Structure 1
Amino acid sequence: MSDLTTTIAALPYALPACPNARIALFALRRMGAQGLHDARASHALFTAFGQEFRRPLVLMRALMADLAGTAAGTIAIAPCCCARMTAAERTMLTILARVETAPDTARLLLGDLLGVRRVDAVLASVAAVATAFADDGRPICV
């Protein structure tokens, strides 16, 4: 198998066109790889949200902690420099984009992603992050 085939198998999706989804993805990747208090994730949210950065930052940290504490297995994330996304990252962005408009779909996707049936607490965290982005005029879309 060639390197390109291997890359596309591991990272099957292109980055989202939505700049808000890219911000969320960057924070997700940084916090997932470097920890909840990663300075670059904090800086990215500060740059995007200005003085109102604390709400999305704290909620993203809470979401990441909920994901890590609830998931039955690992959730594949790519390094921040990757120009493509894993299936798990794509699913997470889809959940963030649909949690307000299609909560049943978001719940099913989240259950599949986490490998557990009871996802209401994590879904509440997802909704809080999505609302924080939307309230600042940065709705996440995919």
Structure 2
Amino acid sequence: MSELTTTIAALPHALPACPNARIALFTLRRMGAHGLHDARASHALFTAFGEDFRRPLVLMRALMSDLAGTAADTIAIAPCCCARMTAAERALLTVLARVETAPDTARLLLSDLLGVRRVDAVLASMAVVATAFADDGRPICA
């Protein structure tokens, strides 16, 4: 198998066109790889949200903690500099985009991703993160 085929298999999705989804993806990747208190993730949210950065930052930290504590297996994330997304990252952004408009679809997708049936707590965390972005005029679209 060629290197390109391997890369496409591991990273099947292009980055989202939505700049708000890109901010969410960046913070997911940084916190997933470097911990909940990663300075670059905090700076990215500060840059995007200005003085109101604390709410999305704290909620994103809570979401990452809920994801890590609930998932039955590891969630594949790509390095921050990667120009493509894993299937898991795409699923997370899709859930963030649909949690308010299509909660049943979001619940099923999140359940498949995490490998557990009861995902209501994590789904609630996803909803408050999506709301924090939307309340600041930065809705996450898939």
TM-score of the superposed pair, with normalisation by structure 2: 1.00
CA distance in 1, matches of 2:91, 2:124: 16
Residues 1:102 and 2:92 aligned together: no
Gaps of 5+ in 2: none
Q: Equivalent residue for 2:127?
A: 127
Residues 1:7 and 2:17 aligned together: no
CA distance in 1, matches of 2:37, 2:114: 22
Map residues 17-32 of structure 1 onto 2, 5 A cutoff: 17-32=17-32
Residues 1:92 and 2:92 aligned together: yes
For residue 127 of structure 1, report the CA deviation from its aligned partner.
Answer: 0.1
Letter in structure 2 aligned against 1:4: L
Letter in structure 1 aligned against 2:82: C
Q: Equivalent residue for 1:52?
A: 52
CA RMSD of the aligned region, Å?
0.2
CA distance in 2, matches of 1:102, 1:9: 28
**Identical aligned residues as a percent:** 89
CA distance in 1, matches of 2:87, 2:20: 18
For residue 24 of structure 1, report the CA deviation from its aligned partner.
Answer: 0.0
Q: Secondary structure at the match of 2:139?
A: coil
For residue 46 of structure 1, report the CA deviation from its aligned partner.
Answer: 0.2
Q: Secondary structure at the match of 1:78?
A: coil
Q: Which whole-Å deviations, capped at 9, do the CAs of 1:16-64 have from their partners, x for residues lacking one?
A: 0000000000000000000000000000000000000000000000000
CA distance in 2, matches of 1:28, 1:115: 19
Residues 1:75 and 2:83 aligned together: no
CA distance in 1, matches of 2:74, 2:50: 32
CA distance in 2, matches of 1:35, 1:46: 17
Q: Equivalent residue for 2:34?
A: 34
CA distance in 2, matches of 1:58, 1:110: 21
For residue 68 of structure 1, report the CA deviation from its aligned partner.
Answer: 0.0
Deviation >2 Å, runs of 4+: none
Q: Secondary structure at the match of 2:79?
A: coil
Give the number of aligned pairs: 142
CA distance in 2, matches of 1:71, 1:112: 10
